Chain A
Amino acid sequence: MRSFIKPSVAWISWRLLLSRKTLFGGTAPLALLGLILGVAALVVSMAVMSGFESSLQQAMTDVSGHVQVVKRSKIQDDWLELESRIKKLEPTLQGATRFVFVEGIMAHNGQISGILLEGIDSERVQGVLKLKSRVKFGSDDLSSKSEIPLALIGLGLAKKMNLAVGDTFNIVVPITENNGNSSLQRRIGKFKVQGVLEFGKYDWNERFVITGLTTAQQVAAIGDRYSGLLLRFQDASYARVAGFNLNSGLGSPYWVRDWRDSNENLFDAVSVERPAIFFVVSIIIFVAAFNISSTLFVNVVQRFKDIAILKTVGLSRKDVIQIFTFQGLFMGGLGLIGGFLLGFILCGLFNWAQGRLNLISGAVYRIDGISLNIRFFDTLAICLATMLICFIATLAPARRGGQLSPMEGLRND
């Protein structure tokens, strides 16, 4: 296979590149800086987009599993039988646990706050949810023996209600009766904070309280009833397919939704915005690449004599074009490496700053923080786009150099 560039041409190009006339002089450093900034901007914007998406996905799957099967009515069923039906429909099922949701009010030290109490099967939860990774203070262990039932609360709720690990609080649950009256009864449950968790979503952090399934059932006085099952599969990306299959397989008594469903609009918006932002930020790279183009043009003009003499010793038009294309691509590569380095530094600074300056407002963005994520696909796209743009930008100056007749260059004496 013939190589893109002859070794001798690469040697000449490299030596000419590392001179004051080319890389270290004139407008080249500024053009390079422009490219570095453009690539860095693209890296950071893609990292933010992907980070937002993956942070939200991680929060959803850690706290609510990959798929939720929710019972539409108060049907009495055997949850183990339901689990085996699900396993038959979706053999890749890794774990399932019951859950129950109860709306209530938290009361502590004269303060009250509306909460959502989730009861989970503490024996099976480890295989489905990843609460351990979300613990900020205390632990996620709900099965420890304690006189007062244990609970995990969100970070925002802990701050708002001034609660710390070991503190106790009450939850008041309103209960309606099926007697035609609209009267309410209240039931009160006392809980002890076992752990304070960063659930990853603003509204969860502000409202979520997790406790054992039996405790939640007792507080809500619902006997052995449960709201549904939380499921985990081998791969989160399979959840949509699994959810679809379960929806059609289980039928109308059950409502199946995957982790993406509850934030469909957000995820859709990210999918649409990602290429748009990529294109818009790429314009910076276009501008920077054309700076490189003008730098190469100046370089070609400055090197008329050198090009002429190289042609007299046997370099062809194609070789000369390759010399300048190589230089342009090398500058593109340098800008790419510098841009990625700067991008990583900026991402690090962003990570540092978001913890201290509250850069991401949970009330606005639904999540309190983004763990920036640079995906392989984004990296590949940035590399290809940058090198392609740089290649296009080098064509005109390289062609000018190639077309130069030896006499034109030697006449400039």
Chain B
Amino acid sequence: MGYTSDLLELIKRVDKTRPERVARKKAGEEFPALTLDQRKARLEKYHPDYRPGALRELKIGPSKGYSVAQEIADQFEARSRIDPDKIDLNEVHYETDVLVIGGGGAGTAAALLAEEKGAQVIIATKLRHGDANTMMAEGGIQAATKSWKDSPYYHYLDVIGGGHFENDPLLVKTMVSEAPKAIGWLENLGCMFNKWPSGSLFTLHGAGTCRKRMHYAGDITGAEIMRTLRDEARNRVKNIGVLEFSPAVELLLDDQGTCSGAVLYNLETEEYFLVKAKAVVMATGGSGRLHMQKFMTTNHYGATGDGLVIGYRIGVGVRFLHATQYHPTGAVFPEQVEGLLITEKVRGAGANLVNTDGEQFVFEREPRDIESSSIIRECEKVGKGIPVPGQAGKFGVWLDSPMIDLLEGEGTVEREFPAKFILFKRHGIDISKVPMLIYPTLHYQNGGLEYKSDGSTKVPGFFVAGEVGGGVHGANRLMGNSLLDITVFGRLAGESAGKFAVERKDVGKISVEHVRQYHKELEASGIITDRVSPMVLPDYTNPEVKKRQLTTTYIGSLR
């Protein structure tokens, strides 16, 4: 339990430099931030996206020729889980106006808004309703809500600078303009944001923000938003149905090329079945469980990029998928919490990152990709990382959380970060007294399917919301803009899909011809593979056991 004696010895060096670092912080002196040119150089030298072999050019599909992470390319360059010739398209199990694929924050927001447009809605989700990265988001949600010091104008600048000026400008404009309305909507649904007695919202800085505009609910902001949205969806049970443990594995098009539903898979009975719908909202989230470059991840169990794959197969292109976000502060010790996200709010509240000598080596509020690259540099190049006990060759740096109590008063860490405080306490570590050992961890899919401000795509009837989409964050998302993204674009996509469905007269003959075509394109491009996608669930079964799973043929219920 707790830190090893070696680590406790090293922590003394952090203790030693802390008073001076706290004094500097109190005096308003910050570690110098990198210039834009220095940022660029640091990324190119140390960010995992820039490693040779990290990316691969796609050989097929609407974004043929574009390079994405190898692991995502593997998913794109794979066969469908279903044989298009075997699916009986006359047997439709469910019919609805709007099918929402994904039961996280974006999907649930979309379902609520589609319902408000008069649509009957089905949410199909791979795990349980709410088992999603939204639930795990901790730090907060950005919005310029304080007119005496902030506005969407400054929020726009932060977003586009953080994304290295490559973001889709219109998506950014939409997100920052809709942001305060999104907060208002959540407040009206009963989301318990931290507030002053007057009702004014607490706000903090995040990395890359010029104003304090991070709204939060303790360190469980995402969970508070998710469970509120889910609760509201459950209140509208008359019009919103939920199919759990039913991931979508292909989309359906009609003879006009309009998206008309999906093929779902019952994870328990192993049946494939059809949902016919007048509009589809894709909100499957990200892909951290593909473990790009074998990095550990903060993502939930189902984040395998399913929506990217099946959206790509109906012809929607992708952008910014070359950029993967590594969150600077993933826990690396103790082993039981490895990969776990330590919210950026800890740095927002003033905690420094320090090396084995207790020295600061980076401003703690650089954008995430810069911060991560700087930590990797400190461990790999400078050689001042702290060895992770029991894991030869692994290093981390300190996140000096005790500074927060010194800056903001005794008890702040426990009050502001209750979930993390309890979690580390379980393992014998009091993070208000000793720092946390951290290293960058795979966190977010910056890019995804191409979509417009209203959630629409080039395929009629097919809408996109949240992490599965790409463009608004450019090549690097800022903290607090993901919960914002899923709320804003979830609402907009839901509204558009609801409207589209209500106005759509009828659905033509449904087909999976596009899957047949995709298979042909695979063969024509010379890709010989037995891969199938989407992945649906990652495989963590002990390989030693797998070696002994020798069933040659599945007969009856025995697998």
Q: Do A and B come from one complex?
A: no
